[in-house]
Structure 1
Amino acid sequence: HGKRYAVIVNEFGEIGIDNDLVVGADEDVFEMNNGCVCCTVRGDLIRVVAGLMKRQRPGKPAFDAIIVETTGLADPGPVAQTFFVDEDVKAKTQLDSVTALVDAKHVMARLDDSKEAREQVAFADRIILNKTDLVTEAELVEVERRLRKLNPLAPITRAERANVPLDQVLGLGGFDLGRILDINPEFANPAHGEAGHVHDEHCDHDHHDHDHSHHDHDHGPTHGARGHAHEDDIKGISLSLERPMDGTKFTAWLDRLLGEQGQNILRAKGIIDVHGEDRRLVFQAVHMILEGDLQKPWGANERRWSRAVFIGRDLDEAALRAGFEACAA
């Protein structure tokens, strides 16, 4: 495409996975391992964006655009707000648009049980309706009806494997501050959540249970009575193992896990060192839908280890860790 993009990835979980999955890409990927963007955006994100803006190519900026990829658990509002409340960022960047990537197979259930999912759809300038090959046309029509009810202004683009033309998501000039003010009247107020949102590197996050009660967040009425957008029962669990895995054992365990607990596993992804295999096994899952394949070979001097992150509701960390480690060769 001839463009140079910087990609900022926010990880949910203490072991970064996405940076290793971006194989052979020219883009620079920055991971912010806090998992709760709404708590860190004015600290980490501003510092990362400021660092990117200091880079230069002869006669022009180092990047044509900066893409911020939050997780499916993040409220896009504070991310967008960063580009308006920080004077340096505001002076040197222009927020182009917010895109929501929607899972056509599972979104209806998420919209029913997640205020955040509804806010993400309502916040978007563009909705990419992905995995359309996994549902019927009638189901797609119903999903689109529901999405349009939440957001009548955002165009909906159907996609498989998130494959869409770049001009459908980049360079839209579609960000409309007025619409976001309608969604959250406190959006453009720099004092909104100030005490709870301006964290520095000394902020103590517990990544296993994601308990933020010690921050005394005050989000105001638009964030609901619970006081924080993330449900207490949703957490990210990071697993790692230095020994090679038995590929058959691991596949059987993962299949069984998703079959039994897939309804509660929102996302899972990992990179596995399979015994006797020169290539790494890369997998990702959404609920009970699992995708995995052998990918890039391990380097001669590269550290070979297995790591995985599971994000979901009511997950038993001890049981997950025991099952994962039992797959060792």
Structure 2
Amino acid sequence: MQKKGKFDYILLETTGLADPGAVASMFWVDAELGSDIYLDGIVSVVDAKYGFKHLAEERADGTINEATRQVALADLIILNKTDLALEEDLDRLRKTIRSINGLGRILETQRSRVDLRAVLDLHAFDALSGISLQNKMLRVATAQPHLDQSIVTVTFEVPGNAQEESLNVFVQNLLWEKTVRSKAGQCMEVIRLKGLVSIRDKPHQVVLQGVHELYDLEETPVSWASDSARTNRLVFIGRSLDKEVLQQLFVTTVLET
């Protein structure tokens, strides 16, 4: 986080068992109420030697374990102590992290030595994120889970204009009502949502952000090059996600006909 209009930064470190989404949501809501605290991004640290073990842990109640949730929500994932892990184990861990979170950047370190320029000014929760998000999202592919837990990244692109009211209903059904189900009948649980959307009558690209049950639409300073270039790129991170169902629902309920 940082203070708006100043160069003061606050690095808020939570406990190893904390849900960063709950903390981020608190400051995100507070920012909407006029606070001078700005949420810059979520950074998660993964132990290279024991990270796979923590990500593979299954909870008795069937809920997502803390390590997986922290990776899923992160904008930057610091893979630390890489010198203590075998290369084959590191490669397995990299693939597991990427299957959970296909959008976050992975930074590999030893002894937690990190250039602060790589950690600060992430702009993960503001309109500036839209400037870098477009090309980044083109490189994100829907991944298959490397663990029994079905936490995956799902992405799709659909050209055309979205109806803002219908888009709100689509997101609210996912995050609030939780009425969207996969073909197997499982309720889709979205942990993180990001997207660039084209909304009718808005000349600029719009960033869609969601964390847990909170979401926001913010217009960026980037204009669409032409009407033919208008498109919608969405990335979902969560459990029991069904790309085909999500994309078809978006097309039939959100896109302008």
Structure number with higher relative contact order (C-alpha < 8 Å, ≥ 6 residues apart): 2
Q: Highest CA radius of gyration, 1 or 2?
A: 1
